[in-house]
Structure 1
Amino acid sequence: MTELGVMAYPDLSPMSEIKKYLRLASKYGFTRVTSSMLSVEGTNQEIITYFTELNQAAHELGMKVSLDVNTNFLKRFNQSYDNLSLFHEIKCDILRLDGSYGAEDDYIMTQNPYGIQIEMNATSSNVEKEIAYFHEKKVRANQLCLCHNAYPQRYTGLKWADFLEKNHRLKQYGYKIAAIVSSQAPNTHGIWGAEDGLPTVERLRDLPIDLQMRMILATGDVDDILIGNAYAAEEELKAMAEAVRPPRLIEDSPVFAQIKAYGPLLPKFGPCKRLKVILEKGITPIERENLLDLIPQLDNGDSSEWIWRSRSGRLINKNRPIPPRSYAGEYFPIGSVVIVNDANRHYSGEIQIVKIPILNDGKRNLIAKLAPYEEQMLELINNGDLVEFLEYSEY
């Protein structure tokens, strides 16, 4: 199950505002908060008092806390890889290592008697070698997790291809991986100024926050998503929560009986991925129902390069009229969402997404178009993946 989280910056915002943000995030099902103990100035006792209060506030909301430290910080507080008693006292859940003692000593940290989970930097160049060592030493999943870096400077985030490749290699070891997305809300803050957001992946920096998240999760190798900059807008938190809610049960589908009649199809279903669409003004109630309410929607894998194709609507459309509707264009452009109409009765009700422009032959009605940037999400939908269409609204 995907966990959502936020980041708090005690050096940039008062505790009262951070607590308010945590309450809002918790309202939408966020269960993690990350902060850095390196960022708070003061005496040792003042720093301990501050994070004790932060941890308590998060725990009262049912949120786990990850605190960023390095070896110099641990030394300052008389802590080390074999002594994490202070973090137990302040009730820290996850300790993120900004730096390393080396694989053998980091392994000892994972075996601490307090159940504090150790978080490694998934972006580090040597992390795979260290994770392989931990796996060989049988470090359990509840003792170790990974999280990528975030990049405040524009054009410095990770390459998408490198991000995918690294996660795919790391995922084989079975530890949870988190990545960071960026709020588009005005006047956000974060490390090193962060005027241009705080994502892990550069190509995602300016996309709507829920699309950033859906694209990352669609790769199948990332488990959790954190918002890098603060404070995300409530509408963004709500959109993220909506995008990770559990999919509707296939057994509740009006075509479930017909699907079962086709044989052992159910085990072939892939994960549920969500696409946002802008509905056409002339869409009929039947067309709208076929698009937004009918489950499952999926491409069986035998479509051409021109379209993504879901046959499910055909199964309930025997006595449901979809009369042809005129469309002025000679071609349906990329991103058009169409439904086969009664001019091709055998296929009537079938939902298709145009991937290469197709001729308007009068046998399809335009019912929607992909929302801005959603074509990038379409690229991540594989054969057999369940697809749920969400009506687009700006936030």
Structure 2
Amino acid sequence: MAEFGVMAYPDLSPMNEIKDYFRLASKYGFTRAVSSMLSVEGSREEIIAYFREFIESAHGYGLKVSLDVNTGFMKKMNQSYEDISLFHEIGCDVIRLDGSYGSEHDYIMTQNPYGIEIEMNASSRLIEKELIYFTEKNVGRERVRLCHNVYPQRYTGLKWNDFLEKSRILRKYDYTIAAFVSSHAPNTHGLWEAADGLPTVERLRDLPIDLQARILLATGGVDDILIGNAFASEAEFEALAEVAKPPKSLENSRIYEKIKAYGPNMHPFGPCRKLKVILEKDITEMERENLLELVPQLDNGDSSEWIWRSRCGRLINADRPIPPRLYGGEFFPRGSVVVVNDNYRHYSGEIQIVREPIVNDGKRNLIAKLAPHEEMLLDLIDANDLVEFYEFKTY
């Protein structure tokens, strides 16, 4: 199950505000806190004192702490790959190595006696070489994590296709992978005077925060979601908590027995994807029920390139009428959510999402549209994935 976390900046925020942020994160089920030791000025003793308080506060709210370091900083603090006792003394849970000591020395660091996890830079072009070495040494997932970079400067985040390819490569090694999303709350701050958010992937930078998270998780290449800039709004926390909420169980749904009736050997279903929709004003209660209450929706792994289809409504509500309703357009555009009406009685009640424009032949009612930018998530729904629709609300 995905973990969610926040990043806080001791060089930019007073400790009392950071503690309030931890409290808010904890309220919405977040379990991770991240910070960078690299940008904090002061003596060795001052840095130790600050982060000791930082960690105690985060732990008080049930947050596991990851601290970003590099080899130069480690030397400044009289630490090395062979000795990370200082991090144990201040209670650090995870050390994120922004720069590597090299595979052999990084391996030694993963074998520290304190159980401190070592988080490697997932965006590094050399990361697979490290992971191959770790695999050869049988380094378990309880010792190593992966975390992508953040990119403060607009237009510099990872390319979408490069991110997908990197995810495909890294996933083979079965370590937990984190990536960053951006808050759009006013007056946020972050590394290196960040004013345009702090995402991992450039094309996600300006999307709503929950959609960024749903897209990253839908790629299958990310386990944990971290908010890169601070301070995110409570409404954004609430939206991400909805993403983190476990989907409705297929086994406990009304559709499960209907599916089993087709045969005892059901094909395996994938994860549940949550899609936001804007409901049409004239949607009926029957259509709303088919769309929002029959959860999760599912296809049979055989949807075409034109539509994604769920047979749930037609199986559960086969005897309840869906009268045809006039729609003025010649075509249903991409992103339309339609229900088959009684002009095609055998399929009446079936929910469909339009992937490519289809002709309006009078056999479908328009009941909703995907909310803005949700089409990007639609492209990531695999044939066997489950889908849960919920109504778009602004925040």
**After TM superposition, is the score higher than 0.5?**
yes
Please name the residue that 2:76 is paired with.
76
| Distance in structure 2 (CA, Å) of the matches to 1:329 and 1:218 | 32
Query: Structure 1 residues 3 and 266 mapped into 2: Cα distance closer, same or farther (>3 Å)?
Result: farther
User: Cα deviation per residue 1:168-210 (whole Å; 9 max; x = unaligned)?
Assistant: 1111111111111111112110011111111111111111111
Percent identity for Structure 1 against Structure 2: 70
Please name the residue that 1:42 is paired with.
42
Q: Once the 2 structures are TM-superposed, how far is the Cα of residue 303 of structure 1 from its aligned partner? A: 2.7
Contact map agreement 2:180 2:228 (CA 8 A) in 1: yes
Q: Does 1:269 align with 2:269?
A: yes
Please name the residue that 1:114 is paired with.
114
Please name the residue that 2:295 is paired with.
295
Q: Once the 2 structures are TM-superposed, how far is the Cα of residue 304 of structure 1 from its aligned partner? A: 2.6
Instruction: Give the aligned CA root-mean-square deviation in angstroms.
Output: 1.1
Please name the residue that 2:203 is paired with.
203
| Distance in structure 2 (CA, Å) of the matches to 1:393 and 1:265 | 39
Query: Which moves more between the two structures, 169-178 or 318-327?
Result: 318-327
**Residue 251 of structure 2 aligns to a residue in which SS?**
helix
| Distance in structure 1 (CA, Å) of the matches to 2:181 and 2:265 | 35
| Distance in structure 2 (CA, Å) of the matches to 1:45 and 1:263 | 67
User: Cα deviation per residue 1:218-240 (whole Å; 9 max; x = unaligned)?
Assistant: 11121111111111111111111
Please name the residue that 2:281 is paired with.
281
Question: 2:281 is aligned with what amino acid?
Answer: K
Please name the residue that 2:394 is paired with.
394
| Distance in structure 1 (CA, Å) of the matches to 2:302 and 2:174 | 32
Matches within 5 A, 1:17-166: 17-166=17-166
Gaps of 5+ in 1: none
User: Cα deviation per residue 1:25-83 (whole Å; 9 max; x = unaligned)?
Assistant: 11111110110112222221111111111101111111100011122222222211111
Contact map agreement 1:259 1:265 (CA 8 A) in 2: no
| Distance in structure 1 (CA, Å) of the matches to 2:61 and 2:313 | 43
> How many residue pairs end up in the alignment?
395
Question: 2:91 is aligned with what amino acid?
Answer: K
Query: Which moves more between the two structures, 210-219 or 291-300?
Result: 291-300
**Residue 38 of structure 2 aligns to a residue in which SS?**
helix
User: Cα deviation per residue 1:207-262 (whole Å; 9 max; x = unaligned)?
Assistant: 11111111111111211111111111111111111012111111221122111111
**Residue 250 of structure 1 aligns to a residue in which SS?**
coil
User: Cα deviation per residue 1:310-344 (whole Å; 9 max; x = unaligned)?
Assistant: 11111112221211111122221111101011121
| Distance in structure 1 (CA, Å) of the matches to 2:267 and 2:87 | 44
Matches within 5 A, 1:333-344: 333-344=333-344
| Distance in structure 2 (CA, Å) of the matches to 1:265 and 1:161 | 36
Please name the residue that 2:316 is paired with.
316
Question: 1:57 is aligned with what amino acid?
Answer: S
Contact map agreement 2:6 2:32 (CA 8 A) in 1: yes
Question: 2:183 is aligned with what amino acid?
Answer: S
Query: Which moves more between the two structures, 381-390 or 353-362?
Result: 353-362
Gaps of 5+ in 2: none
Contact map agreement 2:272 2:296 (CA 8 A) in 1: no
Query: Which moves more between the two structures, 37-46 or 331-340?
Result: 37-46
Please name the residue that 1:374 is paired with.
374
Q: Does 1:240 align with 2:236?
A: no
Contact map agreement 1:326 1:362 (CA 8 A) in 2: yes
State the TM-score, normalized to the length of structure 2.
0.98
| Distance in structure 1 (CA, Å) of the matches to 2:246 and 2:268 | 18
| Distance in structure 2 (CA, Å) of the matches to 1:344 and 1:161 | 40
Q: Once the 2 structures are TM-superposed, how far is the Cα of residue 166 of structure 1 from its aligned partner? A: 0.9
| Distance in structure 2 (CA, Å) of the matches to 1:286 and 1:393 | 21
**Residue 10 of structure 1 aligns to a residue in which SS?**
coil
Please name the residue that 1:12 is paired with.
12
Query: Which moves more between the two structures, 255-264 or 144-153?
Result: 255-264
**Residue 252 of structure 1 aligns to a residue in which SS?**
coil
| Distance in structure 2 (CA, Å) of the matches to 1:104 and 1:212 | 36
